[in-house]
């Protein structure tokens, strides 16, 4: 019989306690290996020098419409999701198409911690210490063919475990896409954990994309399919409201969402009197990624 998890989030040991225990165990850092890493690793040059939100914030306030449209629905409902076994179908313009098991994927990549800003299109933001590997590593393993120009992604479609998929809030399965140069960029991460935990289910377990210079909905969760293609892929929010959600969806304080301004953001975790702060071009990653869009009209290609 398959292992059934009966533990609830309330059963999780508070991070502070758990860190103390880790200190007691001294060099037993190897225990945390697997999906997530301990802070033993050196800081990545791609990490921002900001204090990450506590795990409690990151796991309590989510948009993951597969589990409901409310911010706490994912935390309430995601426990229903089975993430083991898990495999990713890689197809389209690749030399080695096929179904790649998660363990097999992880054996052939280098995991590292990346502390990234995360900016939601709804104008809230967090700082998240992801653990993951560069998407590039997986794409190179599958062998991207010269004709490929885009990468399309799909989330798991399993309405019996994802109650939101039994409603028609969005067209399922959730789809996202990147241009190939965006997908191959070293900032583009396939994340498998947060802090030293395997990816919490409400955050897109076991494998999700993180593209820190784009609005959060581009960072598709619980990925089961990656397709290399020469056509701009369909993306879920763009299919719903093309005027509001463009294919690129780069964070841009100068391009308003038709229904609200994107000039400012509210960092989560500041309580009732948290100050708004200015949103940065490309979410603060302009030095790394602005050149990808040289000569492009960022209003038209929003």
d(CA 200, CA 131) in angstroms, rounded, equals 12
Q: Does 153 bind another protein (CB under 8 A)?
A: no
Q: Does 264 bind another protein (CB under 8 A)?
A: yes
Q: Does 261 bind another protein (CB under 8 A)?
A: yes
Candidates 69, 99, 145, 234: give the one binding another protein (CB under 8 A). 69
Q: Does 72 bind another protein (CB under 8 A)?
A: yes
Tokens read off for 241: 């409201």
Nearer Cβ to another protein (206/269): 269
Count of residues near another protein by CB under 8 A: 29
Nearer Cβ to another protein (222/236): 236
| Dihedral sign of CA atoms 167, 169, 170, 174 in order | negative
Pairing between β-strand 197-198 and β-strand 208-210 as defined by DSSP bridges: unpaired
Candidates 57, 89, 161, 288: give the one binding another protein (CB under 8 A). 57
27: which strand partners?
none
Tokens read off for 150: 């885009």
Q: Does 91 bind another protein (CB under 8 A)?
A: no
Q: Does 71 bind another protein (CB under 8 A)?
A: yes
d(CA 238, CA 173) in angstroms, rounded, equals 14
Place of tokens 């400012």: 264
d(CA 284, CA 12) in angstroms, rounded, equals 33
Tokens read off for 282: 């490309």
Q: Does 269 bind another protein (CB under 8 A)?
A: yes
- What residues from 120 to 139 belong to the interface with another protein (CB under 8 A)? 122, 124
Nearer Cβ to another protein (8/231): 8
- What residues from 226 to 255 belong to the interface with another protein (CB under 8 A)? 240
The answer to whether residues 102 and 34 touch, using CB atoms and an 8 Å cutoff, is no
Q: Does 268 bind another protein (CB under 8 A)?
A: yes
Cβ-based burial of 5 (10 A; exposed 0-12, middle 13-18, buried ≥19): exposed
Residues of this chain that bind another protein (CB under 8 A): 56-57, 60-61, 65, 69, 71-72, 122, 124, 167, 169-170, 240, 256, 259-261, 263-264, 266, 268-269, 271-276
């Amino acid at each position: 019989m398959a292992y059934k998890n009966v533990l609830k989030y309330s059963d999780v040991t508070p991070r502070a306690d758990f860190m103390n225990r880790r200190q007691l165990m001294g060099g037993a850092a190897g225990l945390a290996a697997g999906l997530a890493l301990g802070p033993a690793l050196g800081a990545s040059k791609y990490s921002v020098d900001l204090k990450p939100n506590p795990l409690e914030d990151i796991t309590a306030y989510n948009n993951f419409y597969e589990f409901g449209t409310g911010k706490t629905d994912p935390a309430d409902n995601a426990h229903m999701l089975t993430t083991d076994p898990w495999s990713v179908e890689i197809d389209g313009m690749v030399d080695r198409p096929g179904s790649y098991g998660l363990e097999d994927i992880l054996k052939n990549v280098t995991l590292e911690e990346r502390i990234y800003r995360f900016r939601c299109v709804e104008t809230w933001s967090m700082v998240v210490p992801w653990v993951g590997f560069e998407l590039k590593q997986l794409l190179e393993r599958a062998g991207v063919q010269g004709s490929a120009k885009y990468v399309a992604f799909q989330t798991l479609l399993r309405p019996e475990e994802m109650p939101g998929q039994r409603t028609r809030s969005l067209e399922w399965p959730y789809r996202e896409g990147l241009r190939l140069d965006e997908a191959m960029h070293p900032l583009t991460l396939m994340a498998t954990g947060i802090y030293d935990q395997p990816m919490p289910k409400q955050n897109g377990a076991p494998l999700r994309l993180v593209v820190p210079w784009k609005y959060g909905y581009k960072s598709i969760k619980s990925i089961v399919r990656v397709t290399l293609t020469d056509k701009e892929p369909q993306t879920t929010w763009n299919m719903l409201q093309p005027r509001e959600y463009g294919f690129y969806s780069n964070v841009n304080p100068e391009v308003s969402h038709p229904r609200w301004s994107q000039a400012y953001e509210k960092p989560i975790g500041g309580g009732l009197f948290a100050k708004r702060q200015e949103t940065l071009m490309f979410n603060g990653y302009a030095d790394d990624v602005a050149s990808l869009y040289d000569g492009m009209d960022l209003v038209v290609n929003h």
